[in-house]
């Protein structure tokens, strides 16, 4: 029987306990595996003294997971190093933060080889393999070396960098060539797909014909597959008890003030400092908004081991403190800055209580928060989404107020417009956004990708498949 084998760096299916904190992607992949039957393979997040390649098989939330432990040196070089300090900043246009240390590259190759050697014996002749994200780009090449001839697909969750930026990576050619071992490579947006095509044609001097790269060993199809959320379920969650209680609590504490909301992983790519400054500009330009609005920014710390993350955290503490110091009154704090994670049902209630969803990353593969914000709104009285043009989501969500997050003035003007938008216009914009979020949900994303991956190498990608346009 043909199974789907999903591989990602970390494996975190939602537990049997019900509503948990697992993100949209985890939910989607778990659902994909339940539907197609299969295994989810990846790092346990644990380290041991010496790598053994021993797999721990478990069943979590109806999904079979296969976990492997790595060594401490793997964590340092592959995860904290190459993934978080080299590829993440480089792919988010922050070459100034990218560390090019040889040991990181060696660790990355070693862990991908270890993953391949551990995974290969699990793959049956009919199985289809779907590998996720920048941690595992060379995995198919390593599997091919071990004789795995199955169909293997790759999906990149983050942006693809510009050609010039990518060539600053010492092993850029080797990294990109390893993608040619896949049968299908998927990106979040047309923008990422075009940037990839530019590299392929100008650096590798290969031809892209009919959505595929023709080369010696195989035909590698490429396409944009914008990821979605479990939209209907999230909208439903926003009307349930916990969400309603959270909504009421916030409404009470709002005391008639309008709420602008940001929800992000605490990451320099999310544009949080620029966001705080744009909000400050609004207060400076429109003193009439003072005491009538506040910004709730929820930012969960991540990747604490990396210095750039400690620095951005300290900067945000400083900027939010300064703005609050300058503008607060005895009964009004302009920025409520919260550093903890919330349950998904609480989050749904928080989104619903916000008059403005402020999603302004400087660079983002897609951005699921924008879609969750829309899905959680009250159809009778929806809030307004202000969205960065540099989020992949902007290609699909044209009815948001699209802004350049690098421009304080532009963002602050959009905030003013959002806060004052008449109900009729809010409803019209939200309806169009919601239709898109419901249509292009996570199940549609998963089904399109898997269907395209299962197609014979010679066949065309079906409508909605690898050449699917971000609509
Ligand atoms: P991320 O960079 O993590 O994802 P995003 O797409 O916004 O960014 O997803 C964040 C998820 O975490 C959302 O589901 C959100 O609800 C949740 N979350 C954030 N803060 C939270 C908090 N305080 N409490 C609880 N939950 C919180 C990467 C890429 C994105 C791409 C996704 C999926 O960087 O561009 O959209 O993968 O492909």
27 has pLDDT over 90: no
State the average pLDDT for the chain. Answer: 92
Task: Please state, for a pLDDT cut of 70, what percent of the chain lies above it.
Answer: 94
Report the atom number in ligand 1 closest to the C-alpha of 270.
Answer: 2
Reading phi first (left if > 0) and then psi (alpha if -120 to 50, else beta), residue 159 is in: beta
From residue 403, give the alpha-carbon distance in Å to each of 15, 154, 243, 386, 419: 38, 31, 29, 7, 15
In this structure, which residue's CA is closest to atom 17 in ligand 1? 23
Tens-digit pLDDT profile for residues 416-436: 999 999 999 999 999 999 999
The ligand 1 site (C-beta within 6 Å) comprises 21, 23-25, 157-158, 227, 263-265, 298, 300, 341-342, 347, 364-369, 372
Residue 325: count of CB within 10 angstroms of its CB: 9
Active site residues per annotation: 157, 364
What is the per-residue pLDDT for 470?
36
Instruction: Give the per-residue pLDDT at 61.
Output: 77
**What is the helix (H) or strand (E) element at residue 384, kind and residue range?**
strand 384-388
Which atom of ligand 1 is closest in space to residue 23's alpha carbon? 14
Residue 410 CA: distances (Å) to CA of 195, 292, 361, 392? 26, 21, 14, 19
265 C-alpha to ligand 1 centroid (Å)? 6
Give the Å distance between the CA of 204 and the centre of ligand 1: 33
CA of 372 to the centre of ligand 1 (A): 10
Q: Which residue is closest in CA terms to ligand 1's atom 22? A: 341
- Separation of CA 25 and ligand 1 centre (Å): 9
Provide the whole-model pTM: 0.95
Task: Report pLDDT for 459.
Answer: 43
- Residue 227 CA, closest ligand 1 atom number: 38
For the ranges 31-45, 102-116, 270-284, 369-383, the lowest mean pLDDT is seen at: 31-45
Look at residue 214 in the predicted model and tell me its pLDDT: 87
Going by alpha carbons, the residue nearest to atom 27 of ligand 1 is 341
CA dist 309 → 8, 91, 301, 368 (Å): 23, 16, 8, 21
Q: Is the pLDDT at 457 greater than 70, yes or no?
A: no
**Is pLDDT above 90 for 208?**
yes
């Amino acid at each position: 029987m043909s199974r789907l084998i999903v591989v990602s760096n970390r494996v975190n299916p939602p537990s049997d306990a019900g509503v948990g904190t697992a993100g949209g992607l985890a939910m989607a992949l778990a659902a994909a595996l339940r539907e197609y039957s299969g295994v989810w393979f990846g790092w346990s997040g644990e380290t041991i003294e010496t790598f053994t390649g021993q797999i721990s098989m478990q069943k979590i939330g109806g999904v079979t997971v296969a976990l492997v432990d790595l060594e401490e040196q793997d964590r340092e070089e592959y995860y904290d190093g190459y993934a978080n300090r080299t590829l993440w900043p480089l792919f988010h246009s922050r070459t100034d933060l990218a560390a090019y240390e040889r040991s990181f590259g060696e660790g990355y190759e070693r862990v991908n080889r270890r993953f391949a050697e551990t995974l290969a014996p699990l793959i049956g002749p009919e199985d289809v393999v779907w590998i996720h994200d920048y941690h595992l780009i060379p995995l198919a090449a390593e599997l091919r070396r071990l004789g795995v001839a199955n169909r293997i697909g790759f999906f990149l969750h983050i942006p693809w960098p510009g050609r010039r930026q990518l060539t600053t990576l010492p092993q850029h050619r080797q990294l990109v060539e390893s993608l040619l071992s896949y049968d299908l490579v998927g990106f979040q947006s047309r923008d990422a797909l075009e940037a990839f095509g530019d590299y392929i044609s100008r650096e590798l001097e290969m031809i892209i014909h009919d959505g595929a790269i023709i080369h010696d060993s195989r035909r590698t199809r490429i396409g944009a597959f914008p990821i979605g959320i479990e939209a209907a379920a999230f909208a439903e969650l926003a009307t349930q008890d916990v969400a309603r209680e959270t909504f009421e609590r916030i409404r009470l504490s709002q005391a008639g003030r309008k709420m602008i909301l940001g929800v992000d992983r605490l990451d320099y790519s999310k544009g949080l400092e620029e966001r705080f400054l744009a909000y400050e500009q609004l207060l400076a330009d429109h003193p009439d908004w003072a005491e009538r609005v506040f910004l709730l920014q929820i930012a969960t710390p991540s990747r604490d081991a990396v210095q750039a993350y400690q620095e951005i955290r300290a900067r945000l503490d400083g900027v939010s403190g300064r703005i609050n110091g300058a503008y607060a009154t005895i009964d009004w704090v302009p920025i409520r800055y919260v550093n903890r994670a919330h349950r998904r049902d609480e989050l749904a209630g928080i989104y619903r209580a916000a008059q403005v969803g402020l999603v302004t990353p400087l660079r983002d593969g897609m951005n699921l928060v924008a879609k969750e914000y829309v899905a959680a709104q009250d159809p009778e009285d929806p809030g307004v989404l202000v969205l960065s043009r540099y989020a992949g989501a902007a290609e699909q969500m044209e009815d948001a107020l699209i802004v350049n997050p690098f421009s304080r003035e532009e963002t602050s003007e959009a905030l003013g417009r959002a806060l004052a938008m008449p109900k009729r216009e809010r409803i019209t914009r939200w309806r169009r956004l919601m239709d898109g979020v419901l249509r292009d949900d996570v199940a549609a994303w998963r089904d399109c990708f898997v269907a395209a991956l299962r197609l014979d190498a010679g066949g065309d990608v079906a409508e909605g498949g690898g050449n699917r346009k971000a609509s």
